[in-house]
Amino acid sequence: MRAKSDLLQVVLRNDVHATERIVNQTLCELEADFRDNGVQRFGTSASEQAIFTVWTIRKTAALIWKLFDPQVINRKLPEDSVKKGEQFRSEFALYSAWAQFHLECLTTSMRLNTALYPDVLPAVMDGLRSEVNAYAIAKQIVDLYLPPAPEPELTPYAWDEEDDELLASSMQDMELEEL
């Protein structure tokens, strides 16, 4: 995977949009492979888990692409967030690689037309679930670099006598329309 990633960077010369299109296309093809061949190769449960994992990878990638925005890519984290960012990146790499490894076990089995031992399949399915953790951590990483906008503070509306009169008038108009 690392060699493919390095080759992709050299060929595309850091064209983020082209890379994003290629990744999305690859994920769509992978999802179609599992949809077409997964059930007969691994059973319904494992096939659905693999399709869900690919879908989650697509959602995770959509989050990560936000970090490649030119305004974000050179942004420094505040001092109090640097250690947290390092921890998140480390955990993301672990969960993502673990899920990718198990997904690669299934795709290799399909590509080589070799069966997985039934005893191994539950462990593979469990490994695929790591992508959900990777997604959650990716969300936290994005929130570190792109904190959500603060919610506007809403103050209660001060109701006065004129508002009471307008309400009563509109209610009378509605009653007349109903008749």
Could you read off the pLDDT of 81-107 as tens digits, one per residue?
888 888 999 999 999 999 999 999 999
Tens of pLDDT, residue by residue over 59-86, are 999 888 888 776 677 777 778 888 888 8
The whole model's pTM is what? 0.72
Q: Name the pLDDT band for 51 (thresholds 50, 70, 90).
A: very high
Q: Is the pLDDT assigned to residue 6 strictly greater than 70? A: no
Q: How far is CA 169 from the centre of its chain?
A: 51
Domain containing 20 equals 2-178
Q: Report the C-alpha dihedral over residues 50, 56, 58, 64, rounded to 10 degrees.
A: -140
What total number of domains does the chain contain?
Answer: 1
